Every structure is written in C-alpha cells, then in structure tokens.
Homo-oligomer: A and B are copies of this chain.
C-alpha cells in the first residue's frame, strides 16, 4: 500500500480511501491510485484491515456441521454459503464427526481466527464452555440440536412429532413389530426420534420390544448384518423405521439381501437422493433444510448486527411423504 502511494504520488490514506470507495476523493487521484495499484499488482489485505477497523468485524462466520460430505450437511452448507456471500461474508467450515472434542477444538480455532459468529450442529454434550466467549461478544446459533447448559438461539426440526407420525402411519397399515434403527442415544436427534417411535407404540398399546430397537450401530457393514439377523429371527419385524439417511440405506440393503423389500415396510427419516427411483420408492420424513438453514443464519446475522433480544428457539416442521415402501401392509 505504501508503494502504491509512492508510485501514485499520494498518501497512504488516499490509497486507503480509494479502496474503501470513500466518495470524497478527487477522481483524478482515484485514477492515479488505481493505475499504480494495477501496475504493482496490489490487492488490499483484508485481515490487516479488520484489525484496526472500528467495529472489528472480520466478515467471517464459522459453521460446524456433522459431516460436510453427507448430503444433509452439504445442503445446509450451500445455503449458508449463498446467504453469507450475499452479505459479503465468508465461511469457515468444519466437520465434527460426532466427536465432542473436535467441536471444542474447532470452536477455539475459529475464535482464534476471530469469526464474527458461529453456527453449530453440535457434537458436544455440554456447551457451558461457550459462556466466556459470549461475554467477550461472540455470537452463536445452534442448528439441528439444542445447546446444553448454555443459552442460545436454536433452530430445530420436529424430530419427535415427525417420528410419531411415521410410526403411526406404519401402525395404520397393520404393523405391530416395527424395527427401530437409530444412532447413539446420546445424540439429541436420535433420542427424540426414538421418543416419537415409543410414543406411537404406546398409543397403540404395543410397547417397545428391546430386540426391535437397534441403536448406535458401528459401521455400515455390521449394521446391515444386525438388521438381517433380526429380519430372519422368529417373530421378525414387518416394518422398519430408519431414523437417518445413512440408516435408510442400511435398511434397504438389508431388505434387498433378504429379498424382503416388497414385503417389509420401510419409512426413513431425512431425504435420500433418488428415493423416488428405488423400487419400492422410499417413504420418507423429510426435514425442511432450506428453512432450517435460512432461519438459523438470519438469526445469527441479526445477532451480529446488534440484536440483543431474548434468545429464541425456532421449530421447523418435517414433512411426511408416502412413496410406496411405507405403504406395504403387515402380513
């Protein structure tokens, strides 16, 4: 910048003004500065700028998601990217892989980069450690899962009600033995979806059978093996409720392997690409990603821009879509 000033015969400050589009600069000088900058191949250093800039904003937000290569996270990421870009913001993103430690590390890392705000789909089970950051002016937003021991804006789906509806749907087709396929109960969404399942069974006076509840399965291969085992057992389930996109694949692969895809009903939670092309097409409970994304980032930006109103929790409804696999009646 100093070199540009020298070459254009102006001062440091004038160069600064030109690059910040301050209107009160002589057009002649502006021209000279731009010319010199071009010649020297100068590009302003934004990070240096935000060091002294009044509001200290870095125009950067951090986003922590479960796994960016999973379509659920990837779609959210894209929504955030577009919204951020529209507002002149840039995104730092990280995948947490359900590891609480990674959440903590990445939060610290992003804060050391001085993001203006942080959006998280948390893997941690205690967020009290964020209180100090709030005191220093950091802004947070939670998505998909609520904060624990910490007050923050949050945007959540109707996990429990969506599951309740899905399982009721299966029950209405005569199913009594419904296999529950879920993540580790320590994960908020996994437990909520289980509660919806349990509630629907209770309402029908069936009760939850332990052998029909498969949770926290390790990897895809072993999960498929477990499901196949249950499908071959005595009094086998006549329907499956898979509570996450990866688990829906597991269920389908297991059903295919047992040649039961036309006989055992299946409802999945979360969208899967090409659901309508499968035979049978997969009945799903879908989350409204566009709305989850939009609401959460809008709230975060509003906080960054000074909104200090009471913390808010927004609940976004899920959508049930019958496509075929969920409408197979019980034998």
Binding site for B on A (CB under 8 A): 41, 43-48, 50-51, 58, 67-71, 74-75, 77-78, 81, 85, 90-95, 108-109, 111-114, 132-133, 135-136, 249, 252-253, 256, 272-274, 277-279
- Enumerate chain B residues within 8 angstroms of A113, measured Cβ to Cβ: 46-47, 90
Judge whether B278 and A112 touch: CB under 8 Å: no
Q: A44-B112, A48-B51, A81-B94 known; A71 and B71 CB under 8 Å?
A: yes
Judge whether B132 and A41 touch: CB under 8 Å: yes
| Minimum CB–CB distance for A131 against chain B, Å | 9
| Minimum CB–CB distance for A276 against chain B, Å | 8
Judge whether A93 and B95 touch: CB under 8 Å: no
Q: A50-B47, A51-B51, A81-B94 known; A41 and B273 CB under 8 Å?
A: no
**Cβ contact of A274, chosen from B58, B85, B249, cutoff 8 A:** B249
Q: With the chains together, A217 CA to B85 CA distance in Å?
A: 27
| Minimum CB–CB distance for A284 against chain B, Å | 13
Judge whether A253 and B277 touch: CB under 8 Å: yes
- Nearest first, the 7 closest Cβ-Cβ pairs linking A and B are A69-B78, A74-B74, A41-B132, A46-B112, A47-B47, A69-B74, A279-B279
Q: With the chains together, A136 CA to B41 CA distance in Å?
A: 8
Q: A47-B50, A272-B273, A279-B279 known; A41 and B78 CB under 8 Å?
A: no
- Enumerate chain B residues within 8 angstroms of A277, measured Cβ to Cβ: 249, 252-253, 256, 278
Judge whether A58 and B69 touch: CB under 8 Å: no
| Minimum CB–CB distance for A324 against chain B, Å | 13
Q: A71-B71, A91-B92 known; A112 and B273 CB under 8 Å?
A: no
| Minimum CB–CB distance for A96 against chain B, Å | 11
A-B contact pairs, 17 of them (CB 8 A): A43-B112, A46-B113, A46-B114, A47-B114, A68-B77, A68-B81, A69-B75, A71-B273, A81-B93, A81-B95, A90-B92, A90-B109, A92-B92, A249-B277, A256-B277, A272-B273, A273-B274
| Minimum CB–CB distance for A84 against chain B, Å | 10
- Enumerate chain B residues within 8 angstroms of A256, measured Cβ to Cβ: 277
| Minimum CB–CB distance for A163 against chain B, Å | 23
| Minimum CB–CB distance for A317 against chain B, Å | 22
Q: With the chains together, A68 CA to B293 CA distance in Å?
A: 15
In the complex, besides A45-B112, A47-B51, A274-B278, 6 extra interface pairs with C-beta distance below 8 angstroms are A46-B114, A47-B47, A90-B92, A90-B113, A273-B273, A277-B278
